[in-house]
Structure 1
Amino acid sequence: MDPLSDVLSLLELRSYVSGGFDAGGEWAVRFGHHDGIKFHAVLRGQCWVSVEGEPEPVRVTEGQCFLLARGRPFRIASDMEVEAVDVRTLLPQIHDGRIVTYNGGGEFVSIGGYFTLADAQADLLLRMLPPIVHVHEEPGLSTLRWCIERMRQELHEPQPGGDIVAQQLATMVLVQALRMRLAETRSDGVGWLFALADKRMRAVINAMHDAPGARWTLQTLAGHAAMSRTTFALRFKKLVGLSPMEYLTRWRMMLAADRLTNSRDSVAGIGLALGYESEKSFITAFRRIMNCSPRQYARRQLAGVNDAHDAGTI
């Protein structure tokens, strides 16, 4: 897989289409803090989106969407001067399956949903994204419009397996949004996502992801970039925000965390597979990045799974 697919797979991404919003006249709705990534796709009309802490609202029009990655309260409105109502007061007005109608509806229609991420690795993606990502660039919008239209159909015309279809469509919207974010040449963001836009850095990150257990050195990584060791190290740190070896270590620890949770491999075996010559050196690296030992991490994850299972049986 490519690095973006690697990361999204490791994050145990789950997407959910929570429902639609149908408004008429002048309106404004406020939302509280949230976990994961929220998304809204506009099917008809236009709205303004204001995120707490951001200086300017963003105008989103028909066929566009926006992602909210930092969990901050926000509001959407036909006019920023309109006093907002709390979204929770509108939930009793749900009709037609999962549609909230406000002020009679008919002028503005959107579909909303959210993505959940594996807790231990969520920062891999969330810290790469600004509080609001407005997906509006023309290239790729045809794909987005198709996904959004299909989500609308699944919401209005329920079919067997509709929830699975809606989840896959929502995931396509997220990936398309990340691709567009990646393609923004004017972006001055720092992190692995932005480094993928650089052909040479992408080759190095691909190599590390393809063989995380290889005995990488700064020299061999620089060879994949066809650059001198010094020039490569400076360029990588500028774009990614970490040195090449720091990035490699963090990626290895994310893989280790996944295997500790989802496999029966021993700590020593996981460390050996990820390039560590001894169990002690692996444990030291894991503790430095994850702030606990591998065994402590595994026990916490197991306890979390058991708690979730017990809660589901009540």
Structure 2
Amino acid sequence: MRFDAPRVVKFNAVRRGTCQLEVDGIDEPIDLAEGDCYLLTRPRSFTLRSDPETAPVDGGVVFARAEDGIARAGQGDDVFLIGGGFSFGTRAQELLLDRLPPIVHVPADTPHAETVQWALTAIDQELTHRPMASTLIAEHLAVIMLVHVLRLHLERAPHAVSGWLAGLADPVVATALTCLHRDPARSWTVADLADTAAVSRSTLAARFKATVGQGPLEYLTRWRIELAARQLREGNATLASIAHSVGYGSESALSVAFKRVLGMPPGDYRKHPTMP
């Protein structure tokens, strides 16, 4: 089955049988075995096939005929997959996924993959038997699965990822990130953060830059602006109170930083929060 580029972060897991995954822009197909799962972190067309010679059918047409959430292609029942997608806002996409590879493949025999399999089995049961609140439970289980897939990817390829996610895999950088996230309004210095991580300022600065891609104070600025932007999108707080809550002493200080990071003043962003 051939699928158009998904608008969400697509995941599929093979519950029975085997198949191949082909993703536009990826040279080699990926063999998927029972228990394997994958994430498509980019909007790319992809094909799931039984063998290289079989002509694909339009997956959209097949899924348009789905009954009770189950779509069938062909006459056999030798391969069964469960799938779905995760939706992220633009800023969350940048923070979490933009530095990941286009596809994250988690084989069934990956160490510590048992939790992913447990979550998938539980999702399968919820969607098959439909007990009370099954959709809600399945959604939360899917988030658990996503977190564990990302954890496993970091364990397998800690140097293949950069940005915030890579920082969590470095104990020194993770300590500094925890401090910045826990108390973003504090007037942090590199020396303060280095003390919390029990390393020198130069060590912290170098490791933070190498993993996250920016310095600790630059990251703090962007994190503060992210928090301010969320308040502007979701509430009616005054600009002065928002500025104070994220560590700026005045509206003008927040406005200058906000425009530098997002390219527009806070007032314009509140009116058009999807523009960046």
> Aligning the two structures, in what range does the TM-score lie when normalised by the shorter sequence?
over 0.9
Q: Structure 1: which 4+ aligned runs deviate by more than 3 Å? A: none
Q: Residue deviations 1:179-198, cap 9 Å, x none?
A: 11222255332111111111
The alpha-carbon distance between structure 1 residues 108 and 266, as it changes in their structure 2 partners (threshold 3 A), is same
Identity of aligned residues (%): 37
In structure 1, the gaps of 5 or more residues are 1-28, 304-314
1:165 aligns with 2:137: yes
1:116 aligns with 2:75: no
What is the CA–CA distance in structure 1 between the aligned matches of 2:260 and 2:60, rounded to whole Å?
Answer: 42
TM-score by length of 1: 0.82
In structure 2, the gaps of 5 or more residues are none
The alpha-carbon distance between structure 1 residues 224 and 44, as it changes in their structure 2 partners (threshold 3 A), is same
Per residue, is there more strand in 1 or in 2?
1
CA contact (8 A) 2:187 2:247 kept: yes
What aligned pairs does 1:99-138 form with structure 2 within 5 A after superposition? 99-136=70-107, 138=110
The amino acid across from 1:45 in the alignment is G
What is the CA–CA distance in structure 1 between the aligned matches of 2:251 and 2:25, rounded to whole Å?
Answer: 45
Provide the residue aligned with 2:168 in structure 1: 196
The amino acid across from 1:107 in the alignment is D
What aligned pairs does 1:64-83 form with structure 2 within 5 A after superposition? 64-83=36-55
Provide the residue aligned with 2:225 in structure 1: 253
How big is the shift at 1:159? 2.3
1:144 aligns with 2:116: yes
CA contact (8 A) 2:11 2:37 kept: yes
What is the CA–CA distance in structure 1 between the aligned matches of 2:274 and 2:216, rounded to whole Å?
Answer: 32
RMSD: 1.8
What aligned pairs does 1:201-280 form with structure 2 within 5 A after superposition? 201-280=173-252
CA contact (8 A) 2:17 2:33 kept: yes
CA contact (8 A) 2:12 2:81 kept: yes
The alpha-carbon distance between structure 1 residues 189 and 91, as it changes in their structure 2 partners (threshold 3 A), is closer
Provide the residue aligned with 1:38 in structure 2: 10
What is the CA–CA distance in structure 1 between the aligned matches of 2:157 and 2:82, rounded to whole Å?
Answer: 29
CA contact (8 A) 2:113 2:152 kept: no
**Aligned residue pairs: how many?**
274
CA contact (8 A) 1:52 1:72 kept: yes
- Say which SS state the counterpart of residue 255 (structure 1) adopts: helix
